[in-house]
Amino acid sequence: MKMRKTLGKGGFTLVEIMIVVAIIGLLAAIAIPNFVKARENAQKNACVANLKQIEGAKVLWALDGGSGTPALGTDLVDDYIKKEPHCPAESTASYTANDLDTDPGCGYASAAAKGHYLTAPSS
């Protein structure tokens, strides 16, 4: 059996590899900010859903004869909410139930700036 030698190109040139890396870098530069924005938006929506859950629990608590300001940990959890919620944007941030005429609040430091509220605060 006779072996043949091939004289053609064997691989990619440095310029071709650099162009591919530049294109991938450009696509990453476009996509990563969008992923960060989508994550913040998802956290805000989850926080607002938690606030709605707390508001519904407050209404049920009031209908069952509660008056004044319900305590989230003792009055609402177990009877009206399975587990005390925490803001997904910051795991240490807890919610405040507030009184019956006021919307519940998020304990996240940038809550108002990031949209973590039920109704827009008056300015």
Where do the structural domains in the chain lie, given as residue ranges?
Answer: 17-114
- Name residue 72's amino acid: L
Element (H, E) at 106: strand 105-106
pLDDT band for position 5 (50/70/90)?
A: low
Q: Using pLDDT thresholds of 50, 70 and 90, give the confidence band for residue 121.
A: low
3-class state of residue 28 by DSSP: helix
Q: Do the beta carbons of residue 121 and residue 79 sit within 8 Å?
A: no
Task: Specify the pTM.
Answer: 0.73
Give residue for tokens 């509660």: 66
Position 39 scores a pLDDT of: 92
Q: Band of the pLDDT at 97, cuts 50, 70, 90?
A: confident
